[in-house]
A = this chain, B = another copy of it.
């Protein structure tokens, strides 16, 4: 696959090289290398000379060269479906802090569109470019996952369990249960659930399935049978939620409560309800999952999950693995909790 190479001439400033430092410090390049990376066998005085020289020349080792020689890149690849969504942005930020504090750089891969994803898996730009990979709730196909593992470097996921891969996530069924039980305890029996697109942009998000299944199960254990017509699936995001709610409104009879697969959908649903003049929680109660920063603003009852914490935990797992302290692939499940706000209440007597 021929690649068009732009004719950029790297006429950059000459950075000081390791030999420059070596000369200035009066030692050999090897000693400079050892000193700078804190190796054992360097006398304190020598090390100090080297440090001084390096500082004087504002020396920084070329990552390319040191990577080539050592086989380590000091870079982590972070792969996300959508950077612009609240969940992913916050998870990335959480992981970033941990990784950057440990001296790692972060290469971001945003697969948001079908083209971007195809390009990614075709080029596999991670190959020989990162020490480890962190993927966020990717709804990848078998083949994609295989490609990722073929890189043969440490892999950690957030939000999705993959066989043999360390993972940080919430228990989706439990999250849904928190919400459903809350509604049931308030007396609701007619409960709908709205979800995003099944295979949004071609991603096979597990959460979609897990939360819907969890919903059916939670209802069942409350003695309620789920009704397919009360489980519409629309596009994702706020607009999707608005659509799904509109669909429910146009149905034969309106449920007394609606659970949204995630907060952005719930927020869209609230918009539709407001515009339609349906009282919340008077006529319909609404619950979301996430505790998006906007949930508090619109007073949405929701099941909170710690997002940047999950990113940080995943980052730490990666560092542990890279440090050789690699336990068996762990599955860290962080707790969720119900946050009761103003969009839920007991159903009207009728």
Task: List residues of A whose CB falls within 8 A of some B CB.
Answer: 1-10, 12-13, 15, 35-38, 47, 51, 60, 62-65, 67-68, 70-73, 75, 78, 82-84, 86, 89-90, 92-93, 96-97, 100-101, 103, 105-110, 112-113, 115-116, 119-120, 123-125, 127-129, 131, 150, 152-153, 237-238, 267-268, 270-271, 293-294, 296-298, 319, 321-324
In-complex Cβ contact of A267 among B60, B65, B297 (8 A)? B297
Shortest CB-to-CB span from A84 to chain B, Å, is 4
Q: CA of A67 to CA of B237 in the docked complex: distance in angstroms?
A: 40
- Closest 4 interchain pairs by CB? A2-B38, A10-B71, A6-B323, A13-B152
A-B contact pairs, 17 of them (CB 8 A): A2-B35, A2-B36, A7-B324, A9-B324, A10-B70, A62-B128, A64-B64, A64-B68, A65-B68, A82-B93, A83-B83, A92-B110, A105-B109, A106-B109, A106-B110, A270-B297, A298-B298
State the CA gap A321–B127 with chains docked (Å): 27
- Residues of B near A270 (CB, < 8 A) are 297
16 more A-B contacts (CB under 8 A) besides A62-B128, A106-B109? A2-B38, A3-B37, A3-B38, A4-B38, A4-B103, A7-B324, A8-B72, A60-B123, A60-B128, A83-B93, A92-B108, A92-B110, A237-B293, A238-B293, A270-B297, A271-B296
Q: Are B84 and A105 in contact (CB under 8 A)?
A: no
User: Beyond A84-B90, A93-B84, A238-B297, is A6–B319 a contact (Cβ under 8 Å)?
Assistant: yes
- Interchain nearest-CB distance for A58 vs B (Å): 8
List residues of chain B with CB within 8 A of the CB of A2.
35-38, 47
| Inter-chain contact B5/A37, CB cutoff 8 Å | yes
How far is it, in angstroms, between the C-alpha of A131 and the C-alpha of B85 when the chains are bound?
A: 28
Taking the closest CB of chain B, its distance from the CB of A65, in whole angstroms, is 5
Q: How far is the CB of A306 from chain B (nearest CB, A)?
A: 14
Contacts of A113 in B (CB 8 A): 97
Q: How far is the CA of A8 from the CA of B68 in the complex (A)?
A: 15
Residues of B within 8 A of A13 (CB): 150, 152
Chain B residues, CB < 8 A from A107: 75, 105-108
Q: How far is the CB of A231 from chain B (nearest CB, A)?
A: 23
Q: Contact at B108–A72, with CB atoms within 8 Å?
A: no
Q: How far is the CA of A99 from the CA of B254 in the complex (A)?
A: 47
* Complex Cα spacing A106 to B127, Å: 15
B residues in contact with A78, CB < 8 Å? 108
Given known A38-B5, A297-B267, contact A112–B128 (CB-CB < 8 A)? no
* A70 to B5 Cα, complex, angstroms: 11
Q: Which residue of B lies closest to A307 (CB)?
A: B84
C-alpha gap A308/B253 in the complex (Å):
41
Query: Contact: B116 with A100, CB < 8 Å?
Result: yes
Contact (A60, B124) CB under 8 Å given A83-B89, A93-B110: yes
What is the distance, in angstroms, from A343's C-beta to the closest C-beta of chain B?
14
Chain B residues near A75: list those with CB within 8 A.
107
Q: What's the least CB distance linking A300 to chain B, in Å?
A: 11
Could you tell me the distance between the alpha carbons of A93 and B7 in the complex, rounded to whole angstroms? Answer: 26
User: Which of A8, A116, A123, A321 gathers the greatest number of chain B CB atoms within 10 Å?
Assistant: A8
A129 and B105: CB pair below 8 A? yes
Across the interface, do B15 and A127 meet the contact criterion of CB distance under 8 Å?
yes
A131 touches B8 (CB 8 A): yes
